[in-house]
Amino acid sequence: MKTPTIHHPALVESLELAYSAERAAAYAYIGHAASLRDAADRAAVRQIELDEWEHRECVHQMMVQYAIPVSRWYELKYHCIGKMIGLSCHVIGWFMPYFFAGKLESGNVCEYIVMLRYFNTLGIHEHDAALYEMGLKEKEHEVYFQEAIRDARWLPWFEKVFGWGAGTTLNDVDASNPLPVEDAGQYCKGYKEGKGVVL
């Protein structure tokens, strides 16, 4: 049976990038969890790490299906980034790892929904549920980090400078009442503009 191929450079790059970036995130969370003293906090961050490994595997299955090669450059680049972030969590205090993890997760929500739309433009809908589920899981991660930093004294300044925080987000997904999967493509239409959404 012939391996199907896709002719969509932006989608191919998005899959390659997501595959490698998920490992970077997992490595970062390994360091983040190890830097925490509270057992419950460590367990929560550890679970997020496990979610990222699952996302990486899911993305890889899609890449294999369409004969998309793993980018050696992205693998090297994000391996180093993830390890460096993980190590930094031991020296930069508790707030910044939570803050920047939450900001990253906020953007990751839309990365998966944009991929869903890319597939749909090719008439492919078989990955909608998996991509939407990953997007919603990233939203769950974002909400966790937002709650963790909500009362931090540094938050107002960081939120103003970086455009994300307890009161802003980089996506328009409603975690408490998400759209059905068939309507998931309605989310994140302005994401590439880089504009936050006031909650």
pLDDT band (50, 70, 90) for residue 4: confident
* Residue 173: DSSP 8-state: -
- Average pLDDT for residues 55-79, to the nearest whole number? 97
pLDDT tens-digit readout, 22-59: 999 999 999 999 999 999 999 999 999 999 999 999 99
| % pLDDT > 70, the chain | 94
List, in sequence order, every beta strand (DSSP E) within 24-131. Answer: none
| Rounded-to-integer distance, Cα 78 and Cα 102, Å | 18
pTM of the model: 0.92
- Average pLDDT for residues 71-76, to the nearest whole number? 97
Nearest residue to 114 via CA among 171, 174, 36: 171
pLDDT band (50, 70, 90) for residue 192: low
Structural domains for the chain: 9-198 (1.20.1260.10)
Which contiguous run of DSSP H or E holds residue 169? strand 168-169
pLDDT band (50, 70, 90) for residue 2: low
